[in-house]
Amino acid sequence: MLLKDRVGLVTGGSSGIGRGIAIELAQEGASVVIADLEESPRLGKYDPATTTTTTVEEIEKLGGRALFVHTDVSEEVSVRSALQQVVRHFKGLDILVNNAAVLIPGNSQELSVEQWDQVLGVNLKSLFLTTKFSAPFLKESETGRIINISSVAAFFGGGGPAYTASKAAVLNLTRDSALELAPDGITVNAVCPGFVQTSMHDTFTEEKEEQLRQETPLQRAGTPAEIGRACVFLASDDAAWITGIALPVDGGWLARVHT
């Protein structure tokens, strides 16, 4: 097992990509804390009707250890409390995966100021909070890892002003954190998913989904588990000398985009 005896925290781990990441970490031996607003999975049109178990229940069925912690990742007090519960329950922290995100459709004229603040709070401010308050614990680990989930939308416009701006900012925050924490042996990397079938994309029309598939060189959508495998790699000893990168996991999407 690549992550045996390590402790991971996954924000937004109840559903979608976060759920996939948490389960993959657990399958490699990590104990996993799910930090989310809701424990029950948010089911979208891509999820099987049989998906009724929580992420914790799924991990426990695999024989792993898991804990759910109610968390508003955009609020300092809530993030502090979540990290304290992690350390109290599992006696430490080795892996932080900042996955929680929201996508609110709309251009600059349609998006309200409150919606802008909401997206930036969840997608960007939360990374500052979790990094700030987890760093003291990660410094005590011999295998400290931070993995920030960005998006291919970080590299081009067209996804709305708040979402694309927040995901682009995640990449530079990743680089900055990587430089800051390198002397402590902590690696900080970003994963940039392409079109992955989750409830976040429930607002897409069938025509939009087909367009995304056609524009993906591998001609299909990704799965949460495939994003999870990339996170397993970055959390493992195999990636011990990798820090400050943005890893696309996108079926080739960015290969056709000039950046």
Active-site position among 46, 90, 116, 163: 163
Name the residue among 102, 42, 13, 47 with its Cα closest to residue 223: 47
| 124 vs 101: CA distance, rounded Å | 9
Alpha helices in 10-66 (DSSP H): 16-27, 55-61
Tell me, yes or no, if 163 is annotated catalytic: yes
User: What strands, in cross-sheet order, belong to the sheet with 145-149?
Assistant: 66-70, 31-36, 7-11, 95-98, 145-149, 187-193, 246-249
Q: What is the DSSP string of 144-199?
A: -EEEEE--GGGGSS-S-HHHHHHHHHHHHHHHHHHHHHGGGT-EEEEEEE-SB-SG
Catalytic residues: 163
